[in-house]
Amino acid sequence: MSIEYAVPAQPTGSTPPVQPGSPELLRAVFRRHAAGVAVITAQGERPVGFTATSLTSAAAEPPLISFVVGTGSSSWPAISGTDHIGVHILGEHQRDLAARFARSGADRFAPPTSWHEGPHGVPVLDGVLAWLTCRILARVPAGDHRLIVAEVVAGDASGEGSPLLYHGGAFNGLREA
């Protein structure tokens, strides 16, 4: 069975239509999907981390999370070789932090990033809305990425503020209706 996806005609002056089943279609659709912003960290030879919008709660019993990481990313070697990772939920006041961890080649843990060593040696970012330390259970191949499934072993949900969202290619805060 084959599935075809309709790509609506574009109004004049907008971006041209994309090919069904293409990476561009996936990107175009997910630019319209608002997602929470997290930073995933790990300890390798040095601390590593990246901004993720693919974080999801996978199960409550046992408490599991999942996210994807590109195998070509600078963080992948550390994540592929460690047992524990850190998960940080960013607040809308942390747009600069999200951008720093999304930027290639940046020293993400240099000042002004504030962090400390947390449980299992995982780098924990300061001032986030919430953080978790998780034990990696699986690294599932998913194209040029790996789907990571991890069990929650520690954390703190006492941060204050509103969540940071990613939508339309930009970091945004919530708007009151």
Q: What is the CATH number of the domain that holds 156?
A: 2.30.110.10
* Measured distance CA(160)–CA(18) in Å, rounded: 41
Query: Which residues of the chain are under the pLDDT cut of 70?
Result: 1-16, 176-177
In a domain, 13, yes or no: no
Q: How many domains does the chain have?
A: 1
Question: Residue 177 falls within a domain, yes or no?
Answer: no
Distance, C-alpha 74 to centroid of its chain: 14
Would 87 be classed as within a structural domain? yes
Asked whether the CA dihedral 74, 77, 79, 82 is positive or negative, the reply is negative
pLDDT at 11: 47
| CA neighbor of 171 nearest in space, from 86, 93, 67 | 93
pLDDT at 176: 63
Is 173 part of a structural domain of the chain? no
pTM metric for this prediction: 0.85
Domain carrying residue 51 = 35-167
Q: Has residue 152 been placed in a domain?
A: yes
